[in-house]
Amino acid sequence: MLKINNVSYSVKGKSILKNIDLEFKNGFVYSIVGPNGAGKTTLLKSLIKLIEPDFGDIFIANKSLKTIKQREIVKYVAFLGQEHLSKQPLNVLDVIVMGMLSDITSTPSTKHYEKAIKIIKMLGLEYLANKDFDKLSGGEKKLILIARAVAQNPPILILDEPTNHLDFKNKHHILRFITDFTKSNNMICIMTIHELEFAFYYSDFIILMKDGKIVAFKDKHSIFKEYDISNLYDLNITIKVIDDFICIKPK
């Protein structure tokens, strides 16, 4: 379980996160949606100690994040940010294996490579296995970095805009994989995403953020029926939810 308790964060007097209270349970996928500048990425970074909140606390498996050293975070969380890796003179398998090592001085084993191969086969990416990572397209790099995060087999998977750089087919493919992997391994998956329809189709719960605040946090069917999304984006939107189908149309 992951719990955020009254977390606030500011930069140069400007509030970025405001009294955030959230609780995440194993076996579910959570999507955070909201306009640019809502604080979504900052919230994710607070979960892996890339920023230190001014107030409040975060608990992972009932342990305060304040008591967990930065280098130990990888035992609990795999994080994929929006930025690609810097120049990596490695092939794809090596990049995935590197994510499984506890530190850069560790030596990979045959089991590490076997697991990397298993993951890319599950994703249908074996044709990229021996290619140079630097020579991949932006979308291919994103797919491999998601494979790398998943290969860590973490209790918590945190993804900042995992569909960025991906085409329509691969967006659905990767989100379906993430959802299935989360549930089959009883993990927690938290991701930010801009596509409301993808959040609906591939999440269990949706969190709405605006101006550093949590506006709403409900299951995916209830949230679109009970909250006016037009207020979230300051845009007149019509949303219809019928069973497992959603239609979104700007007016």
CB neighbours of 152 closer than 8 A, spacing ≥ 6?
A: 74, 78, 99, 100
Check residue 102 and give its pLDDT: 64
What fold does the segment set 1-66+190-251 form as a domain? Rossmann fold (3.40.50)
Check residue 160 and give its pLDDT: 96
Separation between Cα atoms, residue 21 and residue 222, nearest integer Å: 19
Establish how many alpha carbons lie within 13 A of residue 184's alpha carbon, considering only the half-sphere containing its beta carbon: 8
Check residue 157 and give its pLDDT: 97
Check residue 72 and give its pLDDT: 87
- Around Cβ 123, how many Cβ atoms within 10 Å? 19
Question: 108 φ, ψ to 5°?
Answer: -70, 150
Q: Tens-of-pLDDT digits for all 251 residues of the chain?
A: 899 999 999 999 899 999 999 999 999 999 999 999 999 999 999 999 999 999 999 999 899 999 998 888 888 999 998 776 556 678 999 999 988 876 666 778 899 999 999 999 999 999 999 999 999 998 999 999 999 999 988 899 999 999 988 999 999 999 999 999 999 999 999 999 999 999 999 999 999 999 999 999 999 999 988 888 889 999 998 888 888 889 888 87
Check residue 105 and give its pLDDT: 60
Check residue 104 and give its pLDDT: 60
- Going from N- to C-terminal start, the domains of the chain cover 1-66+190-251
Question: 22 φ, ψ to 5°?
Answer: -145, 150
Check residue 87 and give its pLDDT: 66
